Homo-oligomer: A and B are copies of this chain.
Amino acid sequence: MKEKLTVVKVGGKIVEEESSLKQLLHDFAKIEGHKVLVHGGGRSATKIAAELGIESQMVNGRRITDAAMLDVVTMVYGGLVNKKIVAGLQAQGMNALGLTGADMNVIRSHKRPVKEIDYGFVGDVDQVNGNILGKLIDEGMVPVMAPLTHDGKGNMLNTNADTIAGETAKALANQYDVTLMFCFEKKGVLSDPENDESVISHITEEDFQRYTQDGTIQGGMIPKLENAFSAIHAGVSKVIITQATAIDGTQGTIIEK
Protein backbone atom coordinates (compact mmCIF):
# COMPACT_ATOMS: atom_id res chain seq x y z
CA MET A 1 0.00 0.00 0.00
CA LYS A 2 1.41 3.33 -1.03
CA GLU A 3 1.21 6.19 1.45
CA LYS A 4 -1.24 8.99 0.77
CA LEU A 5 -0.01 12.27 -0.71
CA THR A 6 -2.08 15.31 -1.67
CA VAL A 7 -0.90 17.94 -4.13
CA VAL A 8 -2.92 21.12 -3.64
CA LYS A 9 -2.78 23.87 -6.23
CA VAL A 10 -4.09 27.26 -5.19
CA GLY A 11 -4.34 30.34 -7.35
CA GLY A 12 -3.01 33.75 -6.66
CA LYS A 13 -6.00 35.38 -5.04
CA ILE A 14 -6.13 33.05 -2.06
CA VAL A 15 -2.46 33.33 -1.14
CA GLU A 16 -2.19 37.05 -1.78
CA GLU A 17 -4.65 38.15 0.87
CA GLU A 18 -3.59 37.87 4.48
CA SER A 19 -6.89 36.52 5.82
CA SER A 20 -7.61 33.96 3.10
CA LEU A 21 -3.98 32.79 3.18
CA LYS A 22 -4.25 32.23 6.92
CA GLN A 23 -7.42 30.17 6.49
CA LEU A 24 -5.86 28.17 3.67
CA LEU A 25 -2.74 27.31 5.68
CA HIS A 26 -4.95 26.28 8.58
CA ASP A 27 -7.05 23.99 6.33
CA PHE A 28 -3.96 22.69 4.52
CA ALA A 29 -2.40 21.73 7.86
CA LYS A 30 -5.38 19.49 8.54
CA ILE A 31 -4.97 17.40 5.39
CA GLU A 32 -3.69 14.00 6.49
CA GLY A 33 -0.66 12.31 5.01
CA HIS A 34 2.11 13.78 2.91
CA LYS A 35 1.44 16.98 1.03
CA VAL A 36 2.72 19.46 -1.53
CA LEU A 37 1.44 22.98 -2.08
CA VAL A 38 1.68 24.62 -5.51
CA HIS A 39 0.80 28.30 -5.72
CA GLY A 40 0.19 31.01 -8.27
CA GLY A 41 0.62 34.71 -7.75
CA GLY A 42 -0.49 36.36 -10.96
CA ARG A 43 -2.44 39.17 -9.34
CA SER A 44 0.53 40.27 -7.25
CA ALA A 45 2.82 40.03 -10.27
CA THR A 46 0.47 42.21 -12.31
CA LYS A 47 0.16 44.73 -9.48
CA ILE A 48 3.89 45.00 -8.80
CA ALA A 49 4.71 45.07 -12.51
CA ALA A 50 2.29 47.99 -12.91
CA GLU A 51 3.91 49.82 -10.00
CA LEU A 52 7.27 49.29 -11.71
CA GLY A 53 5.85 50.66 -14.95
CA ILE A 54 5.81 47.27 -16.68
CA GLU A 55 2.66 46.46 -18.57
CA SER A 56 1.17 42.96 -18.23
CA GLN A 57 0.28 41.48 -21.58
CA MET A 58 -2.02 38.47 -21.59
CA VAL A 59 -2.99 36.22 -24.50
CA ASN A 60 -5.72 33.62 -23.89
CA GLY A 61 -5.25 34.12 -20.18
CA ARG A 62 -1.52 33.41 -20.41
CA ARG A 63 1.09 35.99 -19.50
CA ILE A 64 3.59 37.18 -22.09
CA THR A 65 6.88 37.11 -20.19
CA ASP A 66 9.57 39.44 -21.50
CA ALA A 67 12.87 39.90 -19.61
CA ALA A 68 11.49 42.60 -17.31
CA MET A 69 8.39 40.55 -16.54
CA LEU A 70 10.55 37.47 -15.88
CA ASP A 71 12.34 39.44 -13.16
CA VAL A 72 8.97 40.44 -11.71
CA VAL A 73 7.56 36.90 -11.60
CA THR A 74 10.84 35.54 -10.25
CA MET A 75 10.65 38.09 -7.43
CA VAL A 76 6.97 37.78 -6.75
CA TYR A 77 6.38 34.03 -7.15
CA GLY A 78 9.79 32.80 -5.95
CA GLY A 79 10.24 35.42 -3.24
CA LEU A 80 7.25 37.33 -1.94
CA VAL A 81 4.43 34.80 -2.32
CA ASN A 82 6.50 31.65 -1.77
CA LYS A 83 8.22 32.84 1.40
CA LYS A 84 5.02 34.16 2.95
CA ILE A 85 3.51 30.71 2.53
CA VAL A 86 6.62 28.93 3.80
CA ALA A 87 6.86 31.13 6.90
CA GLY A 88 3.12 30.68 7.47
CA LEU A 89 3.34 26.89 7.23
CA GLN A 90 6.34 26.83 9.56
CA ALA A 91 4.25 28.73 12.08
CA GLN A 92 1.62 25.96 11.74
CA GLY A 93 4.27 23.38 12.57
CA MET A 94 4.78 22.13 9.03
CA ASN A 95 8.35 21.86 7.81
CA ALA A 96 7.81 23.74 4.56
CA LEU A 97 10.48 24.19 1.92
CA GLY A 98 9.99 26.68 -0.89
CA LEU A 99 11.09 25.51 -4.29
CA THR A 100 11.29 26.76 -7.83
CA GLY A 101 12.20 24.28 -10.55
CA ALA A 102 15.81 25.48 -10.38
CA ASP A 103 16.23 24.52 -6.73
CA MET A 104 17.76 21.05 -6.57
CA ASN A 105 16.98 20.90 -10.30
CA VAL A 106 13.47 19.84 -9.35
CA ILE A 107 11.78 20.89 -12.59
CA ARG A 108 13.62 21.25 -15.85
CA SER A 109 11.85 22.92 -18.75
CA HIS A 110 12.55 24.47 -22.14
CA LYS A 111 11.55 27.87 -23.44
CA ARG A 112 8.31 27.54 -25.37
CA PRO A 113 8.99 27.64 -29.12
CA VAL A 114 7.52 30.63 -30.91
CA LYS A 115 4.57 29.70 -33.13
CA GLU A 116 1.79 32.23 -33.67
CA ILE A 117 2.50 33.82 -30.32
CA ASP A 118 5.84 34.57 -28.66
CA TYR A 119 5.14 33.93 -24.98
CA GLY A 120 8.69 34.97 -24.13
CA PHE A 121 10.40 33.41 -21.12
CA VAL A 122 7.78 30.75 -20.54
CA GLY A 123 8.82 27.18 -19.82
CA ASP A 124 7.20 23.96 -20.97
CA VAL A 125 8.03 21.22 -18.47
CA ASP A 126 10.43 18.46 -19.55
CA GLN A 127 10.93 16.64 -16.28
CA VAL A 128 9.98 16.72 -12.63
CA ASN A 129 12.51 15.04 -10.34
CA GLY A 130 10.17 12.82 -8.34
CA ASN A 131 13.03 11.06 -6.57
CA ILE A 132 14.38 14.13 -4.89
CA LEU A 133 10.89 15.36 -4.03
CA GLY A 134 10.05 11.94 -2.59
CA LYS A 135 13.16 12.00 -0.45
CA LEU A 136 12.24 15.37 1.03
CA ILE A 137 8.64 14.32 1.55
CA ASP A 138 9.69 11.10 3.29
CA GLU A 139 11.81 13.20 5.65
CA GLY A 140 8.68 15.11 6.63
CA MET A 141 9.12 18.16 4.43
CA VAL A 142 6.24 19.96 2.75
CA PRO A 143 7.43 21.29 -0.64
CA VAL A 144 5.89 24.65 -1.54
CA MET A 145 6.29 25.08 -5.27
CA ALA A 146 6.34 28.40 -7.09
CA PRO A 147 5.29 28.47 -10.77
CA LEU A 148 8.85 28.87 -12.01
CA THR A 149 11.18 26.38 -13.68
CA HIS A 150 14.64 26.57 -15.23
CA ASP A 151 16.19 25.49 -18.51
CA GLY A 152 19.48 24.16 -17.14
CA LYS A 153 21.35 26.88 -19.00
CA GLY A 154 21.02 29.46 -16.26
CA ASN A 155 17.60 30.86 -17.14
CA MET A 156 14.51 30.89 -14.99
CA LEU A 157 11.25 30.37 -16.91
CA ASN A 158 7.70 31.34 -16.02
CA THR A 159 5.54 28.21 -15.88
CA ASN A 160 1.81 27.69 -15.42
CA ALA A 161 0.99 26.63 -11.85
CA ASP A 162 -1.67 24.09 -12.97
CA THR A 163 1.00 22.45 -15.12
CA ILE A 164 3.48 22.39 -12.24
CA ALA A 165 0.85 20.76 -10.01
CA GLY A 166 -0.17 18.22 -12.66
CA GLU A 167 3.38 17.23 -13.59
CA THR A 168 4.44 17.03 -9.95
CA ALA A 169 1.48 14.80 -9.11
CA LYS A 170 2.37 12.51 -12.04
CA ALA A 171 6.04 12.36 -11.04
CA LEU A 172 5.06 11.24 -7.54
CA ALA A 173 2.37 8.75 -8.59
CA ASN A 174 4.69 5.75 -8.63
CA GLN A 175 5.78 6.42 -5.05
CA TYR A 176 2.51 7.57 -3.45
CA ASP A 177 -1.26 7.25 -3.64
CA VAL A 178 -1.69 10.76 -5.05
CA THR A 179 -4.71 13.04 -4.89
CA LEU A 180 -4.36 16.19 -6.98
CA MET A 181 -6.53 19.13 -5.96
CA PHE A 182 -7.06 22.12 -8.21
CA CYS A 183 -8.58 25.04 -6.30
CA PHE A 184 -10.33 27.83 -8.12
CA GLU A 185 -13.06 30.35 -7.43
CA LYS A 186 -16.07 28.03 -8.00
CA LYS A 187 -17.23 25.07 -5.91
CA GLY A 188 -16.43 22.67 -8.73
CA VAL A 189 -17.23 22.05 -12.37
CA LEU A 190 -20.74 23.45 -12.90
CA SER A 191 -23.47 21.97 -15.06
CA ASP A 192 -25.07 25.42 -15.21
CA PRO A 193 -22.55 28.29 -15.28
CA GLU A 194 -25.26 30.59 -13.88
CA ASN A 195 -25.83 28.38 -10.84
CA ASP A 196 -22.88 28.12 -8.43
CA GLU A 197 -24.54 25.20 -6.67
CA SER A 198 -24.81 23.03 -9.79
CA VAL A 199 -21.58 21.17 -9.05
CA ILE A 200 -21.04 17.99 -11.06
CA SER A 201 -19.81 15.60 -8.40
CA HIS A 202 -18.07 13.12 -10.72
CA ILE A 203 -16.88 13.46 -14.31
CA THR A 204 -15.71 10.65 -16.56
CA GLU A 205 -13.82 11.20 -19.78
CA GLU A 206 -17.01 10.45 -21.76
CA ASP A 207 -18.94 13.05 -19.70
CA PHE A 208 -16.18 15.53 -20.39
CA GLN A 209 -16.40 15.03 -24.15
CA ARG A 210 -20.17 15.35 -24.08
CA TYR A 211 -20.07 18.47 -21.88
CA THR A 212 -17.51 20.23 -24.08
CA GLN A 213 -19.50 19.35 -27.21
CA ASP A 214 -22.77 20.68 -25.80
CA GLY A 215 -21.05 23.76 -24.36
CA THR A 216 -21.69 22.97 -20.67
CA ILE A 217 -17.93 23.05 -20.09
CA GLN A 218 -15.96 25.80 -21.80
CA GLY A 219 -13.13 28.30 -21.48
CA GLY A 220 -10.45 27.83 -18.85
CA MET A 221 -12.13 24.74 -17.45
CA ILE A 222 -11.22 22.74 -20.56
CA PRO A 223 -7.40 22.77 -20.09
CA LYS A 224 -7.93 22.21 -16.34
CA LEU A 225 -9.91 19.03 -17.03
CA GLU A 226 -7.50 17.93 -19.75
CA ASN A 227 -4.76 18.30 -17.14
CA ALA A 228 -6.86 16.25 -14.73
CA PHE A 229 -7.43 13.34 -17.14
CA SER A 230 -3.77 13.40 -18.18
CA ALA A 231 -2.84 13.04 -14.48
CA ILE A 232 -5.27 10.13 -14.03
CA HIS A 233 -3.82 8.38 -17.09
CA ALA A 234 -0.33 8.82 -15.59
CA GLY A 235 -1.28 7.04 -12.36
CA VAL A 236 -2.66 9.79 -10.14
CA SER A 237 -5.47 8.21 -8.09
CA LYS A 238 -7.86 11.10 -7.87
CA VAL A 239 -8.23 14.68 -9.07
CA ILE A 240 -10.53 17.09 -7.24
CA ILE A 241 -11.59 20.45 -8.62
CA THR A 242 -12.90 22.65 -5.84
CA GLN A 243 -12.61 25.89 -3.90
CA ALA A 244 -9.63 26.78 -1.75
CA THR A 245 -12.05 27.03 1.18
CA ALA A 246 -13.04 23.38 0.72
CA ILE A 247 -9.84 21.34 0.58
CA ASP A 248 -10.93 18.60 2.96
CA GLY A 249 -11.43 16.28 -0.01
CA THR A 250 -15.18 15.84 0.42
CA GLN A 251 -16.37 18.62 -1.87
CA GLY A 252 -16.06 19.66 -5.49
CA THR A 253 -15.86 17.67 -8.69
CA ILE A 254 -14.02 14.35 -8.57
CA ILE A 255 -12.21 12.66 -11.45
CA GLU A 256 -11.09 9.09 -10.88
CA LYS A 257 -9.84 6.22 -13.00
Q: Which residues of A contact B (CB under 8 A)?
A: 48, 51-53, 71, 74-80, 82-84, 86-88, 90-91, 95-98, 100, 102-105, 141, 148, 150, 152-156
Point out the residues of chain B lying under 8 angstroms from A153, CB to CB.
Answer: 91
Q: A87 vs B82: C-alpha distance in the bound complex, in angstroms?
A: 17
Point out the residues of chain B lying under 8 angstroms from A74, CB to CB.
Answer: 79-80, 83-84
Q: Is the CB of A83 within 8 A of B48?
A: no
Interface of A is mostly: helix
Pick from B75, B90, B141, B154: contact of A80, CB below 8 A.
Answer: B75
Top 5 A-B pairs, shortest CB-CB distance: A79-B79, A91-B154, A78-B79, A75-B75, A75-B79
Q: Is the CB of A154 within 8 A of B90?
A: yes
Q: A53 vs B50: C-alpha distance in the bound complex, in angstroms?
A: 12
Closest chain-B Cβ to A249's Cβ sits at a distance in Å of 25
Q: Is the CB of A154 within 8 A of B88?
A: yes
Q: Is the CB of B100 within 8 A of A104?
A: no
Point out the residues of chain B lying under 8 angstroms from A90, CB to CB.
Answer: 102, 105, 150, 152, 154
Point out the residues of chain B lying under 8 angstroms from A154, CB to CB.
Answer: 87-88, 90-91
Q: A86 vs B78: C-alpha distance in the bound complex, in angstroms?
A: 12
Q: Is the CB of B88 within 8 A of A82?
A: no
A-B contact pairs, 26 of them (CB 8 A): A48-B52, A51-B53, A71-B80, A74-B79, A74-B80, A75-B75, A76-B79, A78-B78, A78-B79, A78-B80, A78-B98, A79-B79, A79-B80, A83-B148, A84-B156, A86-B100, A86-B103, A87-B102, A88-B154, A90-B102, A90-B105, A90-B152, A91-B154, A95-B105, A96-B103, A96-B104
